[in-house]
Structure 1
Amino acid sequence: MKIKTKLILSLSLIFALTITLAGLGIWQLRQMASDTGNILVANYNSLDYSRNMYKVLDEGGADFNKEKFRGFLNKQLNNLTEVGEQEFTIELKEDFEAYLLEPTPQKAVEIRGDLNSIMKLNMDAIKRKSLRAEATAEHSILWLSFASSFCLIIGFTLLVNLPGYIANPIHELTESIKQIAAKNYSQRVHNKGNDEFSTLAKSFNTMAEKLEEYSSSDLAKLMIEKKRIETLINNLSDPIIGLDDTNKVLFINEQALQITGLGNQDIIGQQAESLALKNDLLRTLLQKMLDENAISENLKIYANNKESHFEQLMVPINIIPTGESDKKRIGTFLILRNITAYKELDTAKTNFIATVSHEFKTPIASMKMSLQLLENEKTGSLNEEQLSLLEGLRDDTERLLRTTGELLNITQVETGKAQFMIEDFDIVPILNKALHSNEKLAERKEIRLVLSEPGALPNVMADRVKSEWILSNLLSNAIRYSYDNSEVGIKVSLTPTHVEIAVQDSGIGIAEEYHDKVFEKYFRVPGNEKEGTGLGLSISKEFINAMGGYLKMSSEIGTGSVFIAGFRIEA
């Protein structure tokens, strides 16, 4: 039988018992009310009429009020309810009529005897009916007691058994689920019957059997996979250390053991913090792992009989446990990627660029001097076509010289050889020099350089030459990327710690997806056909950061770009 059916039947039984008990009580009360009503109405009236007739006789003596007596007598004639009462009442009437014809004391005595008979008859009736009412009351109490006891037994039985019938299987199922969660897949739920709990128990047992089979059959496979993963990790060329959620060492491959100088038996299962107290490299790795704000820097470690470069990677292992929605960290991989070969190639590239750029500067300077001599009228006059060719050569020479300068600057930044002469000075003259050096470039495109007149400004702490280079680069970029016959805005403002110079171009703007990349080396916005090496902004940012300033930008497609250089104020 289904649980729903059992609940409906149990509640229906309680409802039926309640209705029966209420109906029985109402019926018994009606019986008692009926018996009591009989006593109060019929017999009480007869006694009242008889008593009133006695009173008439006693008050009047031989000359009592006959009409009043007759009135009560007529009422008595209409209230004949007991057996024998009619005969006594008729006899009373006959004696009364006889008294009216012959009013003698004997007739009065007979009338009194008739009244006594009627009163005795009704008194006996009242007593009898009282006994019957008492019997009815006792009978009612008996029936109500029996019915109440029966309902109480049924209700108590349901109260004791029904909650247990529902709660016990749920409790058993809950405990079994806990056992399954604890990987005790041999747990079973024993519930016989054809209700929903039995169906649920069968489904649960089927699930537990399948989990037990899966656990038993895949254990060997899991061990094999574990060995395979350990072998794979040991054969990796990069050092790897695995930690659990409490930073205990789970595994470490051979490369990590060699580079840290630890033994496998000394590290597995121990707290990484304890091991770091005796190992500088491990301490450095843990500090960077635990400090979320730490700047990621490459590590120089002596390995393979030479100074090697390693990139540190922190790979958190997060999972979403079954039945939950939030991620939980179960461990971390510490990986040291050997980038020595790439570093050596990068160094070779930097040295090559520096050498080539340096070698280019001398012939380029000679070319520039030769062009200046040709432009001098003392060496001979040139026609319009020759002057046009000469102007093109001058532009190409300037561009080649600028590119060579950028290459030399980037090599200085990469090798750490860039030198800065930090001093305090007024930035406005430096800005004016940068504007002057870019006036001809602006005139060719008919672009107006609009400078918002700055007010009184404090001196800045920076390198004069590097500052002029930065501002000139920002201005030349703004001019190159602005449309012809437009303007480039320059605004100088003051913050509590820096003097800011904002350069606003009138170009197409830069898409938001490229904002984080514009300061990377050699990066150029896709689709841009303007000339350039993609080094100017990268060099500018390196220079101004080294001087305690900053370089930032904002841009939207269709509105142009704004580059803001912040120069540190003298403390």
Structure 2
Amino acid sequence: MNLKKKILIGYGVAFSLMGLVVTWAIINLWSLGKTTDAILRDYYRSILAVENMLDALGRQDSGVLLMVMGDTRKGVSQYRENEAIFLEWLGRSKDSIAVKGELEAVQAIQANYGEYRRRSQLLTDMPDPERASLPETLKIYRESILPVFSQVKATCIELRTINEKTMYAVSEKARRVAKQTIWSTIMVASIASVLALFFSLVFAERLVLPLRRFVEAVRKISAGEFSVELSVETRDELGELALEFNRMTTELRRYHMMNVDRIVAEKNKADAILASIEDGLVVFDTDQRVTGINPAGRRILRVEPQGQDLLYCEQILPVRTVCEVVAATISSGSQPEIADDRRIITLSCGAETRHFLFSATAIGQKDQKLTGVVLLLKDITQLREFERLKSEFVMAASHELRTPLTSLGMSIDLLIEHASRYLPEREKELLQAAHDEVYRMKAMVHDLLDLSKIEAGRIDLEFESVPVALLFDNAREIFRGQINMKQIRLQIADVGHLPQVRADTNKIVWVLSNLVSNALRYVEEGGYIRLAAEMIGDFIHLSVEDNGVGIPAEYQSRIFQKFVRVDKQESGRTGLGLAICREIVRAHGGTIWVKSDPGQGSVFTFTVPIADPGGVKRKSA
């Protein structure tokens, strides 16, 4: 008997029992719920019929009173209309009879109502009721009609009481039965669980005992004792494993005497692992020369197996950024910090273009001389395509939502303008809440459209050479009134010596405005916001600093993602502003990040390329 059959036999009975118990409990509970729902539904229909009969009866009596008071035409019309309604609901009540006593109550209602109709004819059939005196008609109503009306009403209330009591009793009974079913199921399931646990312990012990022997043997082999052999006591998979283990130890003893064979085996194993990796792997020495490349890497970079050791990084990778990262890793011993979007490269693989995320890892242990760098090329083409499809879907959905939201907003505005004065205060508050939510949704839709256009590369950027001082001045003018009102100092560093940047003025000013607006919400009165810029390499680093409440550490890595808000209680915010900032900066070829200490303020920094990199002196980071 093999190991699989043993496991199936050991656990089959217990799991079958548990499955049977669970199935039985589900079937009973489902049947009980279905029956209870059906009964309660009938009672509810009966109660609803009685309520409507009482309502129609009351309106009929009001019609009779109108006839008594002399308004014969309106009274007869109201009486006839509600007479048909009463008879309709009386018929429905007959169709939903479900308990003892309900039939008698319905028959009593029918009989009393017939008498009520007959006596009401004394008024409706009077030859000239409008000439009859009021005392005379009132006397007919009090002595002949009112007692029968009260009797019909009393029998209707009695029918409703019967259904309510019966429905409550059935509900209580169903609850008790359900409780008993649950507890019985729990008890049987507990017994089955104990049995399953018992079988598990027994079979686990029988299975673990041979494995313990394997572990002990492996430990001896790890210590260099290759003469270990296991006794074969079973004919299942563990017995076969013991036979193979003994063969392995025999081979290990033979190869232990041949150190070269061990090295070759390790190399073959490493080559097999590299060959099985679907991502591209390229190994460089400290001179950036290729010393190894797996099949996936050769396929991606279109490198022939012959002569690969004579190639350098620049010869196989046309993207300069990758070789710069490899060189920096060789120089520092670790990969430099670089934004994720700058770690994505696009390569032509045959007839198609694919996207790869690269990373560099230094070869060599700590405190030892670096021997090379491993470059990993991970194919993310499907992820990029998924992002593109998602952006197109968001754009299409947002575009379709814009028109109905505009119509809804106009309708609510018209209601507020013309109808709010006729509404109670509670309805006014609901209408104003609807107004605020519609405009918040419109803002979110517009932000989503802008973000989707930017992500899809459909935004039109008008690049020009712009002084950094002009960008700061435009941002200051936008918030001049708010800053004075809140008594906050807006400090602008001296940036006149910096070169001009290549950017779309409106878009970069929008980014600055969004960052300043965020700072204004979290800076207390008397605080400050500082705009500064610095040239590093071919980029100008623009920063917005404040001494507000800061950003919690758990949000700092996610704050540029969509719909992420630090203060979830703050209304009117979509959580898309910083995501749009990130995409605008990316469209300019830059990056954006934040540094913040809770309680001490935040510094948002983004980069914009210099308009003329060749005409200025660069400052290294």
- Shorter-chain TM-score range: 0.3 to 0.5
Query: TM-score, normalised on structure 2?
Result: 0.44
